[in-house]
């Protein structure tokens, strides 16, 4: 039934009916577009989660290899190099930069690793012995960190996309379940009110024309009556005239 359910506070006029209709159309178009966006993002999201899963497994393997190469270093150097390494770390050689990727209007940040040239904090590490192992360990760990950076950028994309998908879905649902029904309700309400006005108008016109007809009829009758009366009067006067003229009843006077 119209009038039930939420509707917007508008006056039921033809103008607002037109407004509501264009609004409904806009809402439907927007809903379709947002739905498509959400689908595209979800597709991307699923792909990313799959790649995260793979990357995490890969990370496990790479870190294992790296840990093994560090054990080799410890063996070759013949002592723990941890303290020395921690103390000599000064400036990062291995850094990341952030780039963006555009997926259906959403900017997904992605990390990219790069190595700065020239500064080597660990040129003295393994100088006595085990330098080769240290070198190899550094390479292994650099590869591991690259894998980690890749994983981190996937994960950042995951977090960002998750957020965006939530927002888009909320919008889609709001349009589908709130805005469209409310606009439809408003249109129904305006239509019913306009119909009601039309019926009222029709009834009024009928009333008016009935009254006019009645009046005309009455006037007709009156006129007829007048005519009748006039005729009768004429007749009567004629009769009188007759009477006045010929006194038929009277006996002829004979001279």
Q: Which residues bind another protein (CB under 8 A)?
A: 49, 52-53, 56-57, 59-60, 63-64, 66-67, 69-71, 80-82, 85-86, 89-98, 100, 106-107, 109, 111, 115, 121-122, 125, 134, 137-138, 141-142, 144-145, 148-149, 151-153, 155-156, 158-160, 162-164, 167
DSSP reduced 3-state for 251:
coil
Nearest-10 Cα torsion for 250, 253, 254, 255: 180
**Judged by CB, which is closer to another protein: 156, or 192?**
156
**Judged by CB, which is closer to another protein: 99, or 237?**
99
Q: What is the DSSP letter of 111?
A: E
In whole angstroms, how close is the CB of 97 to another protein at the nearest point?
Answer: 6
Q: Which two tokens stand for residue 240?
A: 């009188």
Helices and strands: H and E segment counts in the chain: 4, 2
**Judged by CB, which is closer to another protein: 28, or 49?**
49
47 to 3, 51, 163, 194: CA distances (angstroms):
47, 6, 16, 53
94 close to 145: Cβ distance less than 8 angstroms:
yes
In whole angstroms, how close is the CB of 24 to another protein at the nearest point?
Answer: 26
User: Cα 187 from chain centroid?
Assistant: 18
**Judged by CB, which is closer to another protein: 115, or 237?**
115
Nearest-10 Cα torsion for 51, 55, 57, 61: 160
**Judged by CB, which is closer to another protein: 141, or 189?**
141
In whole angstroms, how close is the CB of 52 to another protein at the nearest point?
Answer: 7
Q: How many CB atoms lie within 10 A of CB 126?
A: 20
DSSP reduced 3-state for 25:
helix
**Judged by CB, which is closer to another protein: 27, or 103?**
103
In whole angstroms, how close is the CB of 43 to another protein at the nearest point?
Answer: 14
In whole angstroms, how close is the CB of 164 to another protein at the nearest point?
Answer: 6
Name the burial class of residue 172, with classes exposed (0-12), middle (13-18) and buried (19+) by CB atoms within 10 angstroms of its CB. Answer: buried
Could you give phi then psi for residue 99, rounded to 5 degrees? -120, 170
In whole angstroms, how close is the CB of 182 to another protein at the nearest point?
Answer: 25
**Judged by CB, which is closer to another protein: 34, or 190?**
34
In whole angstroms, how close is the CB of 20 to another protein at the nearest point?
Answer: 29
Please report the beta strands in 36-194, taking only residues with DSSP state E, as ranges in sequence order. 94-103, 106-115
């Amino acid at each position: 039934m119209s009038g039930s359910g939420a509707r917007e506070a508008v006056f039921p006029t033809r103008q607002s009916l037109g407004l509501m209709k264009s609004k409904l159309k806009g809402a439907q178009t927007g809903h379709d577009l947002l739905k498509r966006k959400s689908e595209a993002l979800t597709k991307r999201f699923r792909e990313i989660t799959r790649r995260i899963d793979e990357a995490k497994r890969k990370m496990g393997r790479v870190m294992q290899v790296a840990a093994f190469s560090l054990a080799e270093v410890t063996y070759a150097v013949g002592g723990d190099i941890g303290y020395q390494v921690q103390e000599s770390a000064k400036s990062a050689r291995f850094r990341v930069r952030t780039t963006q990727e555009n997926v259906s209007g959403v900017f997904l940040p992605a990390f990219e690793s790069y190595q700065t040239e020239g500064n080597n904090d660990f040129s003295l590490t393994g100088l006595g012995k085990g330098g080769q192992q240290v070198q190899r360990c550094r390479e292994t760990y650099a590869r591991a960190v690259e894998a980690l950076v890749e994983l981190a950028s996937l994960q950042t994309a995951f977090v960002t996309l998750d957020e965006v998908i939530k927002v888009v879905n909320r919008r889609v649902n709001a349009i589908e379940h709130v805005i469209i029904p409310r606009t439809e309700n408003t249109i129904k309400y305006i239509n019913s009110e306009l119909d009601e006005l039309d019926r009222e108008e029709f009834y009024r016109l009928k009333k008016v024309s009935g009254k006019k007809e009645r009046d005309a009829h009455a006037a007709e009758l009156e006129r007829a009556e007048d005519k009748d009366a006039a005729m009768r009067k004429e007749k009567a006067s004629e009769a009188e005239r007759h009477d006045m003229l010929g006194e038929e009843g009277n006996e002829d006077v004979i001279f």
